[in-house]
Amino acid sequence: MKMTQTAVPFTKANVARCMCPRCPVQGKSSCVEGKMARLKDALSQSPLKREDIPHVYCGSGTAFCTDLDFNKTCICGSCPVFAEFKLASGQPVGFYCRDGMAKL
């Protein structure tokens, strides 16, 4: 199967649906916590700046924060974006914050 670039748009709608803020991989990250505290401002930017928004790594690529805990479990499988874009059949499957954006 030929892999192409990701089909997941880095949009406010997908940020709102993304489960990453509830994920234990990010749960203890003070870097993510800081970005979440400024999220409202970050969402008022156009276009969105991926370095300011710790969500939708499947569409934007690896995390800018470096204090994530990859020993914890990725919860992308419970996400409506994951289901809509059929990311289970792409590569990588989950851990987009570590391994980069989804390719379908």
- What is the contact surface with ligand SF4 in residues (CB under 6 A)? 14, 18-20, 23, 25-26, 55-58, 74-76, 79, 81-82, 87, 94-97
For the CB of residue 78, give the shortest distance to ligand SF4 in the complex, in Å: 8
The residue among 28 and 38 lying less far from ligand SF4, judged by its C-beta, is: 28
For the CB of residue 2, give the shortest distance to ligand SF4 in the complex, in Å: 21
For the CB of residue 55, give the shortest distance to ligand SF4 in the complex, in Å: 6
Report the phi/psi class of residue 33: left, alpha or beta, with left for phi > 0 and alpha for psi in -120 to 50: alpha
Name every residue whose Cβ is closer than 8 Å to that of residue 57 and which is 6 or more positions away in sequence. Answer: 20, 63, 96, 97, 100, 101
